[in-house]
């Protein structure tokens, strides 16, 4: 590389990011050391300072490396650091820094929240940030942030949050287009009003009784886990929606007309039937429907789904192309009178793929009738997957039911697959 022009060396070395690699190149020659000024990204892994010789603290080492850069755009720090260290780093690179990712490691450290300034408070210096990602955050008090006018993406993973602190943090990021909160606990009620938000993923850890209010007119993708009450009024742009509650119940959903919705996923142990029926009613333009809700019931009692009319269901979802149906919803479509309204000329026009999960041989005849009806009336059907899951085999009806499924598969081997 000695024969290469300085510009070429600078271009090659500017693609380095790992701090260990940068430190090694820094020792090669003065020419290489000077070329590292043009680094665009620096990444400090968790073990960056394990077995580190010398008397400098990790904060000081990071500061020295940052001080050698002229236009750093991305900084990722997974190694331990202090609030004072973070403040000193951002004072060096705040004018060019666009992407900041930090492993905070203070979820259980309430004393860290009392430090002044705290690590969260120090982030305020990055006024030109476009992306901020935080891991292991304790946000007990509202962070002392001004307004991040340029911030488009905020990700917080593995956090303990208080409602006022989260509200203040979101209020300081008015122009977000992407918001991700994963593995967050402590949240009881959250209201999000972001006029430019397009993608939002929320995963609230705990008892599953959180309430959510979302006012984001440009929202296109929304994934919610752990909420019992959900209100999203402006939904004209919403294309992908996923609602799950693995720890609690979904009591109430309040959406506007889901005219643009293409994909809907409903998961959880128990949903109120009113919430299920409303979601199915609002999403009549959906193309992909995934349903894995085990029970209904408004109170503690776990109840089966009421009967669902086969014809009415598919007539209400004429654009449905892929249908993943598990447990209780499949059973609801297989009741005694579910097929009574099938008339000559009835078709399921767009259905191309069906995934069915079968767990019990009960009502075997009705279940076979429903599977056969999907094949008969699904004129565009190309694939059917029948998943046999944890079916008890202590009764002869189980073997007979499985034989019937195998017969159906043999008759339609190009379409049906058994798992």
What percent of the chain is modeled with pLDDT above 90? 66
Measure the CA–CA gap between 44 and 56, rounded to whole angstroms. 16
User: Is 316 a residue whose pLDDT tops 70?
Assistant: yes
Burial of 416 per CB tally in 10 Å (0-12, 13-18, 19+): buried
pLDDT for position 87: 95
User: Is 1 a residue whose pLDDT tops 60?
Assistant: no
DSSP string, 150-188: T--EEEEEEEEE-HHHHHHHHHT-TT-SEEEEEEEES--
- Rounded to the nearest 5 degrees, what angle is found at the Cα of 278, between the Cα atoms of 272 and 276? 35
Q: Which residue has the tokens 């430090």?
A: 115
Domain boundaries, the chain: 304-418
Per-residue pLDDT tens over the stretch 36-67: 678 888 999 988 777 655 667 889 989 988 98
CATH topology of domain 304-418: Rossmann fold (3.40.50)
Per-residue pLDDT tens over the stretch 367-394: 999 999 999 999 999 999 999 877 666 6
Per-residue pLDDT tens over the stretch 226-262: 999 999 988 999 999 999 999 889 999 999 889 999 9
User: Is 278 a residue whose pLDDT tops 60?
Assistant: yes
Whether the CB-CB separation of 128 and 97 falls below 8 Å is answered with: yes
To the nearest whole number, what is the mean pLDDT of the chain? 89
pLDDT band at 299 (very low <50, low <70, confident <90, very high): confident
pLDDT for position 73: 94
Tokens found for residue 209: 């009784």
Per-residue pLDDT tens over the stretch 162-218: 999 999 999 999 999 999 999 999 999 999 999 999 999 999 988 888 999 999 999
How many CB atoms are located within 10 Å of the residue 137 CB? 24
Question: Any idea which of 98-107, 193-202, 328-337, 396-405 has the lowest mean pLDDT?
Answer: 396-405
């Amino acid at each position: 590389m000695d024969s290469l022009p300085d510009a070429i060396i600078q271009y090659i070395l500017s693609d380095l990011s790992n701090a260990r690699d940068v430190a090694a190149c820094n020792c090669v020659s003065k020419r290489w050391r000077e070329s590292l000024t043009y680094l665009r990204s620096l990444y400090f892994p968790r073990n960056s300072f394990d077995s580190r010789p010398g008397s400098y603290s990790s904060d000081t080492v990071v500061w020295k490396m940052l001080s050698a850069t002229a236009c750093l755009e991305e900084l990722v720090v997974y190694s331990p650091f202090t609030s004072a260290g973070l403040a000193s780093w951002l004072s060096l690179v705040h004018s060019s820094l666009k992407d900041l990712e930090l492993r905070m490691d203070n979820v259980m450290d309430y004393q860290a929240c009392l430090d002044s300034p705290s690590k969260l408070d120090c982030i305020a210096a990055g006024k030109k940030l476009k992306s901020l990602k935080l891991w292991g955050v304790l946000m007990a008090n509202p962070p002392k942030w001004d307004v991040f006018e340029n911030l488009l993406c905020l990700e917080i993973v593995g956090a303990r949050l208080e409602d006022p602190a989260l509200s203040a943090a979101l209020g300081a990021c008015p122009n977000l287009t992407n918001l991700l909160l994963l593995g967050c606990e402590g949240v009881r009620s959250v209201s999000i009003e972001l006029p430019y938000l397009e993608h939002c993923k929320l995963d609230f850890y705990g008892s599953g009784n959180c309430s959510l209010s979302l006012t984001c007119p440009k929202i296109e993708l929304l994934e919610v886990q752990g909420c019992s009450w959900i209100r999203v009024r402006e939904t004209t742009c919403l294309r992908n929606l996923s609602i799950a509650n693995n720890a609690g119940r979904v009591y109430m959903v309040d959406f506007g007309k889901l005219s643009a919705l293409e994909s809907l996923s409903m998961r959880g142990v128990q949903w109120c039937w009113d919430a299920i029926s409303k979601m199915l009613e609002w999403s009549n333009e959906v193309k992909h429907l995934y349903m894995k809700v085990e029970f209904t019931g408004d109170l503690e009692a776990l109840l089966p789904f009421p009967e669902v009319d086969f014809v009415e269901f598919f007539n209400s979802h004429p654009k449905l192309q892929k249908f993943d149906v598990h447990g209780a919803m499949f059973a609801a479509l297989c009741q005694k009178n579910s097929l009574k309204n099938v008339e000559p000329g009835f078709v399921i026009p767009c259905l191309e793929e069906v995934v069915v999960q079968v767990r019990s041989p009960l009502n075997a005849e009705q279940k076979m009738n429903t599977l056969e009806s999907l094949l008969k009336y699904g004129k565009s059907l190309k694939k059917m997957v029948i998943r046999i899951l944890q079916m008890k085999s202590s009764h002869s009806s189980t073997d007979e039911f499985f034989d019937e499924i195998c017969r159906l598969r043999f008759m339609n081997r190009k379409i049906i697959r058994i798992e």
